[in-house]
């Protein structure tokens, strides 16, 4: 159990339980506490455990999206991360730049340029293969262009968790790790959360259970898919050694980070994946196929001799997803319980905002964001 520090004392308006202490769940804890509620959080594992969707070596933060809605959402989100940095004396964001690339004049690159311009962000179009590889360590194919976003980069989850925990301690949030929740029973104005350490009675509940979401909201249209992310080592950094995030916007499926450490390169592939129960064993054939495809792609894209690139590790990711690819931040129908699914394929960078919105729904009369309502995310209408 964590409950460190004296922190800020407030008159409590009620008691809220947060189930799932990834980055989104912890962010919900902070806002609920700042709103004057007594907050208790539960996680069946430890905070920041490697199996968590919001864990990992590095995450991308960016304004550039083919969907301008998320570029606008980042305008609200970046200041919240900057506030957390100030409150905790942390350094959470490395704005090392990002390259979005795809067919010149194609819908993907044009949409990224438009979203960056609408959100007031600087970008530069790089058309030359040599210029791009020298700047970013990435190689373009014939007919492709790169859109370089300066105000983008990487976040280190371990540092984010450390900052969120420090702020939670200052706000006197009580966190129970290694405590499984088996049931949530509503009875009028109170809710009983049944845990492995006994029942707890609260006034509101926020479910931010990530890959375990289906256990609490089986009819919510939130699916869990298993995908794989590779970490490679080139012994020496590529290009000038600076880090650079990247996204292949042709299909918004390939993404990664160059020089995310000394000679460390990360990539993932949001391939069409089968919906799974996270506790099911890994399909070895599926794993080998995914890794092989990613290695081939990365060896083509990095500006180095392919023989210099070696596989260092593979991370298994369980991502929550909806048909619309939007987050779910909404009350369960006929209930005061709030669902918070950060749809972790692209949600980490927004968790401080998605958690904030979920806490507002649980602790105030605030309406949900229309695109994050259950009814909206169950269809592909937003794509």
Burial-class residue 380 by CB neighbours within 10 Å (0-12, 13-18, 19+): exposed
230 and 367 share a domain? Answer: no
Same domain, yes or no, for 250 and 120?
yes
Total residues belonging to the chain: 383
259 and 353 both lie in a single domain: no
- Whether residue 60 lies inside any domain: the answer is no
Rg of the chain, C-alpha, whole Å = 21
**Distance in angstroms (rounded) separating the CA atoms of residues 260 and 27:** 25
Q: Is residue 73 in some structural domain?
A: no
Same structural domain, 27 and 38:
yes
307 and 363 within one domain: no
Measured distance CA(143)–CA(161) in Å, rounded:
41
Domain boundary among 321, 340, 359: 321
CATH code: domain of residue 43: 3.50.50.60
Going residue by residue through the chain (383 aa), what tens digit of pLDDT does each one get?
Answer: 444 333 334 456 899 999 999 999 999 999 999 999 999 999 999 997 776 677 788 999 999 998 989 999 999 999 999 999 999 999 999 999 999 999 988 889 999 999 999 999 999 998 877 778 888 999 999 899 999 999 999 999 999 999 999 999 999 999 999 999 999 999 888 999 999 999 999 999 999 988 777 777 766 678 888 888 999 999 888 888 899 999 999 866 799 999 998 889 999 987 666 677 778 888 899 999 999 999 999 999 998 876 688 999 999 888 888 888 899 999 988 888 999 988 766 899 999 999 999 999 999 989 999 999 988 887 654 43
143: domain range? 81-154+223-321
Indicate whether 189 and 290 sit together in one domain: no
Predicted local distance difference test score (pLDDT) of residue 3: 41
Could you tell me the maximum CA-CA distance found in the chain, to the nearest angstrom? Answer: 66
Contacts of 268 (CB under 8 A, 6+ apart): 227, 228, 229, 230, 254, 255, 256, 294, 317
Does 345 share its domain with 289? no
pLDDT at 345: 67
Helix axes 68-88, 107-118, angle to 10 degrees: 50
Buried b (16+ CB within 10 A) or exposed e, 280-292: eeeeeeeeeebbe
In terms of Cα–Cα distance, which of 320, 331, 339, 319 is closest to 207?
A: 339
Name beta bridge partners: 201: 192
Q: What is the rounded CA–CA span in Å between residue 157 and residue 165?
A: 12
Q: In this structure, are 20 and 127 located in the same domain?
A: no
Please check whether residue 74 lies inside any domain of the structure. Answer: no
**Shared domain check, 333 and 269:** no
pLDDT of residue 213: 74
Identify whether the C-beta of residue 147 lies closer than 8 Å to the C-beta of residue 104. Answer: no
Structure tokens at 331: 């009350």
* Contact status, residue 25 vs residue 354, Cβ threshold 8 Å: no
Both ends of the chain: CA-CA distance in Å? Answer: 42
Cα–Cα distance between 225 and 52 in angstroms, integer?
A: 13
- What is the rounded CA–CA span in Å between residue 65 and residue 342? 17
Give the model's pLDDT for residue 274: 67
| 71 within some domain | no
**Residue where a domain terminates, one of 321, 347, 365:** 321
Same domain, 186 and 286: no
Give me the number of domains the chain comprises.
Answer: 2
Asked if residue 171 and residue 193 are part of one domain, the reply reads yes
CB of 109 within 8 A of CB of 147? yes
What is the dihedral sign for C-alpha 289, 136, 69, 26? positive
Q: Are residues 192 and 234 in the same domain?
A: no
State residue 123 phi and psi, 5-degree precision. Answer: -145, 160
264: domain CATH number is: 3.30.9.10
Report yes or no: 14 and 363 within 8 Å, Cβ to Cβ.
Answer: yes
Residue reference for tokens 């194609």:
106
């Amino acid at each position: 159990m964590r409950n460190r520090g004296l922190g800020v004392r407030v008159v409590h308006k009620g008691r809220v339980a947060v189930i799932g202490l990834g980055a989104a769940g912890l962010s919900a804890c902070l806002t609920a506490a700042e709103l004057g509620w007594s907050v208790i959080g539960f996680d069946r594992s430890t905070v920041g455990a490697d199996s968590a969707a919001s864990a990992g070596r590095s995450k991308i933060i960016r304004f550039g999206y083919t969907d301008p809605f998320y570029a606008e959402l980042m305008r609200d989100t970046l200041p919240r991360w900057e506030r957390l940095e100030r409150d905790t004396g942390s350094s959470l964001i490395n704005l090392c730049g990002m390259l979005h690339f795809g067919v010149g004049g194609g819908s993907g690159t044009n949409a990224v340029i438009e979203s960056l311009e609408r959100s007031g962000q600087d970008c530069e179009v790089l058309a030359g293969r040599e210029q791009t590889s020298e700047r970013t360590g990435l190689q373009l194919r014939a007919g492709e262009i790169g859109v370089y976003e300066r105000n983008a980069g990487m976040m280190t989850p371990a540092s984010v968790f450390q900052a969120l925990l420090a702020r939670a301690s200052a706000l006197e949030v009580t966190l129970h790790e290694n405590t499984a929740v088996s049931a949530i029973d509503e009875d009028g104005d109170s809710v009983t959360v049944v845990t492995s350490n006994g029942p707890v009675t609260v006034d509101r509940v926020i479910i931010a259970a990530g890959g375990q979401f289906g256990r609490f909201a089986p009819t919510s249209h939130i699916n869990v898919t298993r995908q794989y992310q590779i970490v490679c080592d080139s012994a020496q950094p590529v290009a000038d050694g600076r880090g650079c995030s990247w996204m292949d916007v042709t299909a918004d499926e390939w993404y990664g980070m160059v020089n995310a450490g000394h000679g460390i390169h990360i990539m993932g592939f949001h391939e069409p994946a089968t919906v799974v129960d996270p506790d099911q064993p890994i399909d070895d054939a599926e794993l080998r196929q995914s890794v092989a495809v990613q290695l081939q792609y990365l060896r083509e894209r990095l500006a180095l001799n392919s023989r210099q690139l070696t596989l260092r590790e593979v991370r298994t990711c369980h991502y929550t997803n909806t048909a619309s690819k939007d987050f779910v931040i909404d009350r369960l129908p006929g209930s005061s319980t709030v669902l918070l699914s950060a749809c972790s394929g692209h949600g980490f960078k927004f968790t401080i905002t998605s958690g904030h919105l979920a806490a507002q729904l649980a602790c105030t009369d605030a309406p949900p964001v229309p695109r994050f309502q259950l009814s909206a995310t169950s269809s592909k209408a937003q794509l």
